[in-house]
Structure 1
């Protein structure tokens, strides 16, 4: 059985969601460290793995002609997204920070419409809105009066959405996924390095192990999201990114003994249900397109 590009994209984004959920769990286990220090290890590990893949696959480190502006946009927006997200986690309720970060698929759809001219259907827009509603039931945000950290968290969602749009554009220009990950990770590592040198906090071996594991998990998530948006537009797969909340709930239960309440369970059901409906809806659209092409 040969999977379509859309089916592959869904599989990759589910893998990415699991990787990023594991990353957040390890970051939480690492304790109270500066967000810039966490960012450095998260990106340094991903950079090493991407470099190994580029070398092993003999892809090379030279990007395709004309792709540098998009690579730079992906790296800058992704770095802003990471910094803002980690800052928000440190200064907001965790639920607030996660909710703001989960706005990235909405911005990805918006940027895809503005810059890539990729339009979504009414069903796809409604599915994303329903999934977002389900996520609100799970995280139950309670905004504080301090608006600055919340605005920074929102900026993180904007940055991530713009970064994913750049990934989509780079893939359409035949840029390799490993090279996209390497460029972004190397850029973010270099940006984080001065903060690490001037504001380094000593770590225990356990904290170091957690940050390295967070980096490995982020690598899995980064490659997954890159391959996902390389195979399908945001409007067709962004809804599946909300499964990260489901993975996070399972990890929270097994690692931190956190039990979801009834509102969270309803949110899980909504997200899973919407994901299944969107999957079959996209399959139906794909089959209809194939039939029209044959006529």
Structure 2
């Protein structure tokens, strides 16, 4: 999980650098195309048709498009905002998922959950406070990214009980590649990448693909409720990379906002863990 979050932070840092020269949609294309190639090279020979076997192809495509939107909007946000603050906005997603789960999945929400949601959005306001140094346009893009990511997570919860995890991962890469390739005439342009920039564009797919594969492997060895707190290591990686490569450290109010967002999301994850443990104990007692 720690390796996966480092890969995701490296992807964000690299896309921030490249977006100063190249169109963001081109970077999205690179991220999914090289991710797709990785899966075809390393997994297709062994999995063959199992890689694309699904009972719900339309739902797979819709879910993948939400992740493409997340990637594009977040890259646009990273191009205008510091890494750590931008990453923190994406971690509002679990709070949005709580609200969407209540409306779309009819899941019950406790008073503690609502308190955590309110606190998390207060944390976001501390980062995007009026008079702060952050770009309003960047905040707008990151808000859209968080919304897309929340819908993506809801769709993942709906598909995961019946669909193969690797197949779901492949559909995100395949749909991202096809959709961004078809849209290429609308955005392709600007300078031709040299060898170094071409390698960096390819690295976006390597970071994304490797990160998701490591994430999948992590969930194979440990429960989601145990692993979820480690996802917030990405905030630490983002702060370190932002300091090392962009000479930026968040101010105290922004750090406070990040801590509130992380704490709010963690409280929801831990309460879910306790709920699952209690349910398991009740089942064992009944047996």
Normalised to the residue count of structure 1, the TM-score between the two structures is 0.74
Matched residue SS, 1:179: helix
Q: Sort the Cα spacing of 1:77 and 1:268 in 2 relative to 1 into closer, same or farther, 3 A.
A: closer
Counterpart residue number, 1:157: 146
More displaced 10-residue stretch of structure 1: 130-139 or 246-255? 130-139
* Contact 2:63–2:156 (CA under 8 A) maintained in structure 1: yes
Offset, 1:208: 1.8
Q: Say if 2:53 is the partner of 1:73.
A: no
Matched residue SS, 2:108: coil
Matched residue SS, 1:117: coil
CA distance in 2, matches of 1:112, 1:191: 28
Q: Say if 2:27 is the partner of 1:24.
A: no
Offset, 1:275: 6.5
Matched residue SS, 1:186: helix
* Contact 2:71–2:145 (CA under 8 A) maintained in structure 1: yes
Counterpart residue number, 1:48: 37
Offset, 1:141: 7.0
Matched residue SS, 2:47: coil
CA distance in 2, matches of 1:193, 1:292: 51
* Contact 1:107–1:161 (CA under 8 A) maintained in structure 2: yes
Q: Say if 2:208 is the partner of 1:218.
A: yes
CA distance in 2, matches of 1:93, 1:102: 15
CA distance in 2, matches of 1:141, 1:246: 25
Q: Sort the Cα spacing of 1:229 and 1:103 in 2 relative to 1 into closer, same or farther, 3 A.
A: farther
Q: Deviations over 1:142-195 (max 9, x none)?
A: 689x9887655533332221112111211111x112211211211111121244
Matched residue SS, 2:54: coil
CA distance in 2, matches of 1:273, 1:105: 11
Matched residue SS, 1:85: helix
Q: Say if 2:177 is the partner of 1:189.
A: yes
Structure 1 counterpart of 2:98, from 94, 109, 112: 109
Q: Sort the Cα spacing of 1:127 and 1:110 in 2 relative to 1 into closer, same or farther, 3 A.
A: closer
* Contact 1:46–1:181 (CA under 8 A) maintained in structure 2: no
Q: Say if 2:197 is the partner of 1:207.
A: yes
* Contact 1:105–1:239 (CA under 8 A) maintained in structure 2: no
Q: Deviations over 1:14-52 (max 9, x none)?
A: 654433211111112324210111001111122122334
Note the residue ranges of structure 2 that are not aligned, 5 or more in a row: none
Offset, 1:76: 2.1
CA distance in 2, matches of 1:23, 1:99: 15
Cα root mean square deviation, aligned = 3.8
Q: Deviations over 1:71-98 (max 9, x none)?
A: 02102222222233333444x5457865
Counterpart residue number, 1:3: none
Q: Say if 2:108 is the partner of 1:86.
A: no
Counterpart residue number, 2:161: 172
Offset, 1:248: 0.6
Offset, 1:293: 1.7
CA distance in 1, matches of 2:65, 2:265: 30
Q: Sort the Cα spacing of 1:270 and 1:88 in 2 relative to 1 into closer, same or farther, 3 A.
A: closer
Offset, 1:138: 5.0
How many residue pairs get aligned? The number is 277
Offset, 1:64: 2.6
Structure 2 counterpart of 1:293, from 274, 283, 286: 283
